[in-house]
Chains A and B, each alone.
Chain A
Amino acid sequence: MPHKWKIAIGILAVAVLIGLISLRSLHRRMVRSAQTQAAEEQARHEVLAAPISTPTDVTAKAKIFWAVGPDQIAPVEVELPLSADPVQRSRQLLHALIVSPPTPGQRTIPADTELFAFYILPDGTAVADFSDALSTETPSGILSEEMAVNSIASTLASNVPGLRRLKILIHGQEVETLAGNVDLTGFFDLNSAAQQASAAH
């Protein structure tokens, strides 16, 4: 074998060796990062999954929108301790929507979903920040994604006065779609959601 080939093969072998070493290190770092993220999610779950109670809570009837059959949602009247503060009231309502469907078949939001944060801007825009589970565990499809979004929008529109529109974030970020179809880059009109909700009664 010519000398030049031996040198070239040697260089290539060294390059491959360096690449393999880098790859292993990169893999270890990725695994560590994923473990850290999972631990953070778990910590958030423990803190935020608990029911929300405030000093102004009054037990009242609320209309929560769950599935009726495979392709519709409808309000179910439930008694809940609801805060006078619209932000806390919204959190209590969304918590009930996620954790308390009357039957598993009526669920519209994946059980692992958590509401990380909820804000109301001065112009009546509500911003709801959910965990990744809302995006990763909602079945892909216009119908299922639309039912999920409508159940959130209609529940808020029917029980929290003053809200005009809704923005949904996933883990603090704007995402393009919920699970591949329904657009989350825009806002959902809560006035029309309220009209649809009253029409469904």
Chain B
Amino acid sequence: MHPSTLICRHDGSRPGGARCGVSAILFAVRDLLRVLALAAGVSAFLAVQVVGQPASRQESPPAEPAPQQASAPEAPSPPPAPSGPIIVLDPAHGGTDTGARGEGGMVEKDIVLQIARTVRAELERQGFRVVMTRNDDSNPSYDDRAAVANAYRDAIFISLHVSSTGTVGTVRAYYDQLAPIPPAVVASSAKYRSQPSQTAGLTVWEDAQRPYAGASHHLADLMQIEIAGQFPGSPDTSVGAAVRALRSVAGPAVAVELSSVAAPNLNSLTGTAAPLAAAIARSITAFRASPSGAR
């Protein structure tokens, strides 16, 4: 295009034939974009002002309920200072992935988020440091969830689930049951030659749980013992299963599943959060005191 084309007046009043018409279109599009950009900027500014801060996909500060005023005159004793390993709570599913669905409209993704928030508050009250893989209706990938735990040196990963089936009111702890690596694969793959899952000090991401299989099994067993004491009818021992959420976690990792979305109402499931938190806290304390938990 010749430079003189762009000399055509902004308001398009100069009779310029086709050349001026093109210029007018260019100016019009430019002005339209400017208006849209301005409008978008104003909207974003207003949104930030209203919400307070941009939404975070992972670990936005939880909406803790305001502490109730104590009726007794003395102030409650402060919670113990956080110590020990990071506990990563993983409310399963989220977003368009609802997980299990009950006939009454209950969906797993919402129930586990409510339970996780209560468990978190209870664990923090007992002095544990807790982070969550999601604190809203987002659905981080399995790898993103594992990355939250893998960012810490001493994290314990607990994935929370609600099943579609099973005896209502029972709870199961699962550890990742990994299939053995076939000898032919070990021989042919450089990543397995030095030792399973580790090569030159690096962990193979998709197989990160393997070195921690024993510790996870031990933690799941301890947790199931506590769970069986809190939730009658639950099994006495944990179960090994190929749980995808646990596979890439480089640390002790357990999945806890409550039965089920067939419960008569939501409160009967969310009401399990406090005893579940107590069971988790006791099992983690016992785990840390054991040889496999002392890292």
Instruction: Indicate whether A and B interact.
Output: yes
Q: Chain A contacts of B31 at CB under 8 A?
A: 4, 8
B99 x A140 contact (CB < 8 A): yes
Which of B72-80, B158-166, B268-276 lies at the interface?
Answer: B158-166
Question: Given the interface contacts A3-B24, A5-B28, A165-B182, does A144 sit within 8 Å of B164 by beta carbon?
Answer: yes
A157 nearest CB across to chain B (Å): 13
Q: Chain B contacts of A3 at CB under 8 A?
A: 11-12, 24
A70 part of interface (Cβ distance < 8 Å): yes
B28 x A176 contact (CB < 8 A): no
A189 x B255 contact (CB < 8 A): no
Question: Given the interface contacts A2-B11, A4-B12, A123-B182, does A139 sit within 8 Å of B165 by beta carbon?
Answer: yes
B29 part of interface (Cβ distance < 8 Å): yes
B290 part of interface (Cβ distance < 8 Å): no
B32 part of interface (Cβ distance < 8 Å): yes
Which of B99, B100, B241, B242 has the most C-beta atoms of chain A within 10 angstroms of its own C-beta? B242
B244 x A143 contact (CB < 8 A): no
Q: Which among B163, B167, B178 is the interface contact of A141 at CB below 8 angstroms? A: B163
A182 x B172 contact (CB < 8 A): no
B179 x A70 contact (CB < 8 A): no
Which of A139, A147, A183 has the most C-beta atoms of chain B within 10 angstroms of its own C-beta? A183
- Looking at chain A, what size class is its interface with the partner chain? 20 to 34
Question: Given the interface contacts A3-B12, A70-B167, A189-B180, does A142 sit within 8 Å of B243 by beta carbon?
Answer: yes
Q: Taking CB as reference atom, which chain B residue is nearest A176?
A: B244
Q: Which among A69, A144, A184, A185 is the interface contact of B163 at CB below 8 angstroms? A: A144
B108 part of interface (Cβ distance < 8 Å): yes
Question: Given the interface contacts A140-B164, A141-B164, A144-B165, does A182 sit within 8 Å of B182 by beta carbon?
Answer: no
Q: Chain B contacts of A71 at CB under 8 A?
A: 165-167, 170, 259
- Looking at chain B, what size class is its interface with the partner chain? 35 or more
B165 x A70 contact (CB < 8 A): yes
Q: Chain B contacts of A4 at CB under 8 A?
A: 11-12, 24-25, 27-28, 31
A188 part of interface (Cβ distance < 8 Å): yes
Q: Chain A contacts of B21 at CB under 8 A?
A: 7
B25 x A149 contact (CB < 8 A): no
Question: Given the interface contacts A3-B24, A180-B97, does A123 sit within 8 Å of B164 by beta carbon?
Answer: no
A120 nearest CB across to chain B (Å): 15
A53 part of interface (Cβ distance < 8 Å): no
- Tell me the B residues contacting A by CB distance below 8 Å: 11-12, 21, 24-25, 27-29, 31-32, 92-93, 97, 99-101, 108, 142, 161-167, 170, 172, 174, 178-180, 182, 184, 206, 239, 241-245, 247, 255, 257, 259-260
A selection of 14 A-B contacts at a CB cut-off of 8 Å is: A5-B28, A8-B28, A70-B259, A71-B170, A71-B259, A139-B163, A140-B101, A141-B161, A142-B174, A142-B243, A144-B163, A182-B243, A183-B243, A184-B242
**Chain A to chain B: the 9 pairs with minimum beta-carbon distance, closest first:** A139-B164, A141-B163, A4-B28, A183-B244, A183-B242, A8-B28, A141-B164, A144-B165, A187-B179
Q: Identify 16 new A-B residue pairs, CB closer than 8 A, beyond the known A140-B164, A142-B163.
A: A3-B12, A4-B25, A70-B167, A71-B166, A71-B259, A141-B161, A141-B166, A141-B257, A144-B165, A146-B241, A149-B242, A165-B182, A176-B142, A181-B92, A181-B245, A189-B179
- Tell me the A residues contacting B by CB distance below 8 Å: 2-5, 7-8, 11, 69-71, 123, 139-144, 146-147, 149, 164-165, 176-177, 180-189
